[in-house]
């Protein structure tokens, strides 16, 4: 079975995704020695809180429609290009509505995150372009175009890193330079993604049926995604408001090392999801048995890898971090294990996406947090 896996399209696509993701994630990874030496823990904490805010706002500017784009590609009775265009219509409307709401509560969000109000508003604008990038990537993922997917990721990462070095090291812009680099890289590649989608993947005809279909897929995912974000992001909000931004910076630095497991799991899932859908369409007992066996093999491998990274943390921290960040070594093993379990989740949640029953995730999330 292992030999067949190594020769399969799944393994080849997964290898391509992983290779590009390693290069892309290596960029911020190698930025750690710069950021932890040129930014104080307080400033690094502000950078971390902005990234959190951007992720949360992105839930409401996009309504997870890029997930629907990825899934609908495999439906023969849907005009894919027309469907994509109507998802962009949803994105425009939801972004405008989100901006109005955030503008009204900008003072509260600024107090909660320690981010200036102007940057809170910028996060809404830039999340619009981030969803455009994700939509373009969803198309490349569905069409198994791993190379183009990787070029977008790698190009944005290189631009982000280059601007970060220019703004922080040479222009001495501190945390503002890091945020500005992030905003500009998302904006540029968001514009690029829009032109790609508009030229190759869109037929601009309003279709209420497709809008309802995309919303039916995406909206039930919001509480589930919020629940997932609460599990992985509440820690930084609690640290920020109970201890301080300095501790958020130290914690986030350690988080970057533990996220190596998350990178590998995410890269594999990008290949696993479309491959799994094709295999499930075969609807044979033998195929299902192979999928289950491989799932268990994957579970064991990712746990072992997480433990290796966790126990190597003290050595990694001394090499990578500035002295003000050495305390981060204590959390890396727990972050690694958490990302390993997240990778296990990726392996099984695609079955729910396959049958379009995303409302199940909403109910699971509700009962988990209620209990």
Q: How far apart are CA 246 and CA 84, in angstroms?
A: 42
Please write the tens of the pLDDT for every residue from 320-361. Answer: 887 888 888 888 888 899 899 988 988 888 888 777 777 777
Please write the tens of the pLDDT for every residue from 299-313. Answer: 999 999 999 998 988
Report yes or no: 73 and 281 within 8 Å, Cβ to Cβ. Answer: no
For the residues 42-71, what does the mean pLDDT come to? 87
* Position 5 confidence tier, pLDDT thresholds 50, 70, 90: very low
Average pLDDT, whole number, for the chain?
85
| pLDDT score, position 233 | 67
Q: How far apart are CA 282 and CA 130, in angstroms?
A: 35
* Position 368 confidence tier, pLDDT thresholds 50, 70, 90: low
> Concatenated DSSP letters for 205-270?
---HHHHHHHHHHHTTHHHHHHHHHHHHHHHHHHHHHHT-HHHHHHHHHHHHHHHHHHHHHHHHHH
Please write the tens of the pLDDT for every residue from 72-106. Answer: 887 888 999 999 999 999 999 999 999 999 999 99
Please write the tens of the pLDDT for every residue from 193-230. Answer: 999 999 999 999 999 999 999 998 888 877 767 766 66
How many percent of the chain have pLDDT more than 70?
90
pTM of the entire predicted model? 0.74
């Amino acid at each position: 079975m292992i030999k067949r896996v190594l020769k399969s399209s799944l393994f080849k696509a997964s290898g391509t995704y992983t290779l590009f993701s390693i290069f892309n994630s290596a960029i911020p990874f190698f930025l750690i020695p710069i950021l932890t030496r040129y930014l104080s823990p307080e400033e690094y904490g502000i950078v971390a809180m902005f990234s959190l805010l951007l992720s949360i706002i992105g839930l409401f500017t996009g309504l997870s429609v890029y997930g629907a784009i990825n899934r609908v590609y495999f439906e023969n009775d849907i005009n894919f290009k027309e469907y994509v265009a109507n998802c962009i219509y949803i994105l425009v409307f939801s972004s405008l509505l989100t901006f109005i709401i955030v503008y009204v509560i900008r003072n509260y969000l600024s107090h909660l995150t320690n981010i200036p109000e102007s940057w809170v508003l910028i996060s809404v604008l830039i999340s619009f372009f981030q969803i455009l990038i994700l939509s373009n990537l969803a198309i490349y993922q569905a069409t198994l175009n791993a190379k183009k997917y990787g070029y977008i990721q790698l190009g944005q990462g290189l631009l982000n890193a280059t601007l970060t070095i220019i703004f922080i090291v040479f222009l001495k812009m501190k945390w503002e330079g890091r945020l500005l680099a992030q905003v500009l890289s998302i904006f540029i590649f968001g514009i690029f993604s829009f032109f790609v989608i508009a030229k190759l993947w869109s037929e601009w005809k309003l279709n209420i049926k497709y809008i309802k279909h995309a919303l039916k897929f995406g909206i039930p995912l919001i509480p589930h995604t919020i629940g997932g974000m609460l599990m992985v992001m509440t820690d930084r909000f609690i640290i920020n408001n109970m201890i301080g931004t300095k501790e958020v910076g130290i914690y986030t630095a350690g988080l970057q090392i533990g996220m190596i497991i998350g990178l590998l799991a995410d890269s594999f899932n990008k290949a696993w999801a479309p491959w799994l859908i094709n295999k499930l369409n075969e609807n044979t007992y033998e195929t299902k048995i192979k999928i289950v066996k491989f799932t268990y093999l994957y579970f064991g491998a990712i746990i072992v890898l997480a433990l290796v990274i966790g126990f190597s943390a003290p050595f990694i921290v001394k090499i990578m971090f500035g002295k003000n960040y050495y305390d981060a070594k204590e959390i890396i093993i727990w972050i690694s294990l958490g990302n390993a379990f997240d990778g296990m989740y990726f392996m099984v949640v695609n079955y729910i996406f396959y049958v379009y029953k995303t409302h199940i995730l909403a109910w699971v999330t509700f009962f988990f947090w209620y209990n």
